[in-house]
Amino acid sequence: MASQEQLALVAECRASGMTAKDWCEARGINYRHYVYWASRVNRAQRTNQDHHDQQQPQPQWALVKMTGEPEVIGEIRLVCGRWTICVGTGFSPVLLAEVLKVVDGIC
């Protein structure tokens, strides 16, 4: 499949308001293929932005809302769309960084 077709399908999925998995299932598209295409689109967009701006992309900030005392709940939950990442006491910062890189590549 041509990259322009892949780009169009990724854009269509993102505009649908559905989860990527549900959209792929409804369209009869292999979800793993879609994830690969979306990752390529994300990388291309970051590369294009870097070439145009010639500077580091600005970080995205999110609203952080405490839902309980950390001593009481014993974990931090990072929620972004349908993703929830739970980080407990004694977590590995290296592992968390790797997980966030993978999630960033998919989203």
Q: Rounded mean pLDDT of 89-95?
A: 82
Convert the pLDDT of each residue in 7-31 to its tens digit. 889 999 988 888 999 999 999 999 9
Is pTM beyond 0.75? Reply is no
H or E element in which residue 16 lies? helix 3-16
The single residue listed with the structure tokens 């580091």 is: 56
Residue 31: its pLDDT value, please?
92
Residue 54 has phi, psi (to 5 degrees) of 55, 35
- Statement: residue 59 has pLDDT above 70: no
Alpha carbon dihedral 64, 76, 80, 18, in 10-degree steps, equals -140
Instruction: Map out the domains of the chain as residue ranges.
Output: 3-53, 70-106
